[in-house]
Chain A
Amino acid sequence: MSQRTPLSLARFWAIVTKEFIQMRRDRLTFGMIIGIPVVQLMLFGYAINGDPKHLPTALLLGDQSQQGRTLLTAMKNSDYFRFVTELHSEAEAEEALARGDVQFIITIPENFSHTLLRGERPTLLVEADATDPSATGNAIASLRTLIDSSLRQDMKGTLAFLAPGVPPIDLRVHARYNPEGISQYNIVPGLMGVVLTMTMVMITGLAITRERERGTMENLLSMPTRPLEVLLGKIIPYIFVGYIQVGLILVAARFLFHVPMAGSIPLLLLTSLIFIAANLAMGITFSTLAKNQLQAVQMTFFFFLPSLLLSGFMFPFRGMPEWAQMIGEVLPLTHFLRIIRGILLKGNGIHEVRGELWPILLFTTVVLTIGVKRYRKTLD
């Protein structure tokens, strides 16, 4: 019997159509859809620097000498580096960096100590994921003095023949993905996630409370509607709105900020869809919980602020305390930032991005389930 089916396509489309018409007539909201990304783009032209420590670092050891160990110990003691793994090939290292598993890869070449002791200044290669320049800046700055002083102390005498002022080794830092360390490259793509989070959650957050406040909910509920029809019917039109914003920011990123676009744009658009859906689900669920539009706006900010602060947008994710990182991992924005920065700056493909999609999908499912459960079919 039709009362048991959770969704009637006809009614679902009726709601989609209605929402589109209403959206078109609501000039203010439509202005906001365009205005918010523009204002944010202007405001966040600046970077906010943190001083993250204990950054995950991988080793590519070509030489097991005493001198190499001394160096690594000194780096570890500086608090900036945390050695998490030892890798065995260039390819492995490349992948770990692309996926964002590590921030640095330190390569100690073969015959390191041999060359050092002969006074021939061996190369120490440090590759950094510089997508977010503020995350790696301080660590790299500290490296040079660190290496110098530790080696000189450790090997007084042995290295005495080296002229003072000439560093004993040749330190090469490769700032990968964003070699010039331009913070806009990091901020502008991130802004897409921030703008989507704010507007999508807010717009849908108001969607049901508005019906309640205007009294139209009573009418809607007196008709044979199912919760899923109403909730999905209100979500779909705003996916379209989300894509307007995505387009706007991508165009600004390309032509105003000259952000490199190394990866696939279709992949970016696809992952954006999932992210947009997550935020719409959050908004619509707030909408079922809030008693009026003011509450819906308050809930939006309650969600937006942690997203802004704990996702790695404002502060480098790895610079945050562990509890903050745990909260951050739950938020869709955290994962979307990794995805979009990965695609645009690192040229990541679906293979690298996949791991960040699941948490967003899980979030969406859980949140939408709560929404459907909380959707009241009566006015009580």
Chain B
Amino acid sequence: MNDDFAIDVRGMTKRFGDHTVVNGIALQVRRGEVYGFLGPNGSGKTTFIRMLCGLLAADAGEGHCLGFDVIRESELIKRQVGYMTQRFSFYEDLSIAENLDFVARMYEVPERKKVVRESIDRLGLGGRQRQLAGELSGGWKQRLALAACLIHGPSLLLLDEPTAGVDPKARRDFWEQIHQLAVQGLTFLITTHYMDEAERCDRLAYLSYGNLLTNGTAAEVVAQSGLTTWTVSGPDLPHIAQQLRSAPGVLQAVPFGTTMHVSGTDGERLTRAIAPYRTEAYRWQPITPSLEDVFIHLMGSSKDNYSP
């Protein structure tokens, strides 16, 4: 056990019937770190997080979460973890204040009334505290959920797609808050599909079909991928994309706004493949692959364990 880590687990495995949904995942998250958890839908992110806080019984695995045994001491882990579920899971027929009060009571928070009032004030929810949670917009629901997760003063926050369906402004405010809290020493494990959010994480991990494909800082993840990428702009990109995809040495040709990223793992062959298209009309430039290029590559190369 190492006290520097908020999460330090190995071999975490979960099966539903014949399907291994989380396959022997090891993860180390340092205290005070904002850790991004990425992967396509169904890759096992939610399942992994649920195992961490004892909501699902792991089929295999060991390690510690906040210094407690991740398998045997989930009751103790729960007290110090704030878990924000993927789907809004507070009571829609309770008001904001009632929800917060309920959560505070469940954790037996000392000086409950004061803590709840402060939480409402801090969130700027004061004017709406009597409003039913079910009537709130996505952004406000997310604020409420985060406030509720924080009310018992957890030291680890597990946030499952916290910004899905939230407008850009609210998303930015949200990340602002995350970084402030991280500075105060809170640890975050956050799942997201947004690349800009992934880039704001100290480190990240990428899952696919239950397997951990890569992890590290954004730069490390890019370096480990071994990709070479060119960006190209010009007319009729979809057309040449189609041709390039079947060319030897090209792994992917992905549109990025008005440009396109063409990547391969073998730089020489890639250069040869694009040579016929380097004409007057097109502007080609070698670039460092973006996280998105890397993730698209990882997704394409991993195998679906549901398929025979």
Distance of A217 Cα from B50 Cα, bound (Å): 13
**Which of B54, B91, B98 is within 8 Å of A378, CB to CB?**
B54
Partner of A216, one of B54, B83, B89: B89
In the complex, residue of chain B having the shortest beta-carbon distance to the beta carbon of A12: B105
On whether the beta carbons of B76 and A21 are closer than 8 Å, the reply is no
Nearest B-chain residue to A219, judged by Cβ: B89
List the B side residues contacting A180 at CB < 8 Å: none
The answer to whether B93 and A378 touch across the interface, beta carbons within 8 angstroms, is no
Nearest CB in chain B: distance from A248 CB, A: 25
Q: Is B79 an interface residue (CB 8 A)?
A: yes
Please measure, in the bound complex, the distance between the C-alpha atom of A333 and the C-alpha atom of B19, giving whole angstroms: 46
| CA gap between A13 and B91 in the complex, in Å | 17
A31 contacts B by Cβ under 8 Å: no
- The minimal Cβ–Cβ distance linking A365 to chain B, given in whole angstroms, is 26
Chain B neighbourhood of A26, CB < 8 A: 93
- Asked if A270 CB lies within 8 Å of chain B CBs, one says no
Total CB contacts across the A-B interface at under 8 A: 74
How many chain A residues touch B (CB < 8 A): the figure is 28
Q: Which residue of A lies closest to B78 (CB)?
A: A224
Chain A CB within 8 A of B282 CB: no
Let me know if A21 and B89 touch, CB within 8 A.
no
Cα-based distance from A17 to B101 in the complex (angstroms): 10
Main secondary structure of the interface of B (DSSP, over half): loop
What B residues does A217 contact at CB under 8 A?
Answer: 89
Q: Which residues of A are found within 8 Å of B81, using beta-carbon distances?
A: 222
One digit per residue, 1 when the CB lies within 8 angstroms of any chain A CB and 0 when it does not, for chain B 33-60 equals 0000000000000000010011111000
Q: Does B91 lie within 8 Å of A222, measured CB to CB?
A: no
**B50 lies within 8 A of A224 (CB):** no
Note all chain A residues with C-beta closer than 8 A to B56: 378-380
Q: Of all chain A residues, which has the CB nearest B109?
A: A10
Mark interface residues in A24-36 (1 if CB within 8 Å of B CB, else 0): 0110000000000
Are A222 and B93 CB-contacts (below 8 A) given A8-B108, A11-B106? Answer: no
B94 at the interface (CB under 8 A from A): yes
Does B174 sit at the interface, judged by CB under 8 A?
no
- Look across to chain B and name the residue whose beta carbon is closest to the beta carbon of A11: B106
Contact in complex: A22, B94 (CB < 8 Å): yes
- In whole Å, how far is A358's beta carbon from the nearest beta carbon of chain B? 36
Q: Does A218 contact B (CB under 8 A)?
A: yes
- Interface residues of chain B, those whose CB is within 8 Å of chain A, are 50, 53-57, 75-76, 78-79, 81, 83, 85, 87-94, 98, 102-103, 105-108, 132
The 9 A-B residue pairs whose C-beta atoms are closest, nearest first, are A14-B105, A219-B89, A222-B83, A3-B75, A223-B106, A215-B89, A25-B93, A215-B87, A224-B78
Given known contacts A223-B78, A224-B78, A225-B106, what 6 new A-B pairs fall within 8 Å (CB)? A14-B102, A17-B102, A21-B93, A25-B132, A215-B88, A219-B83
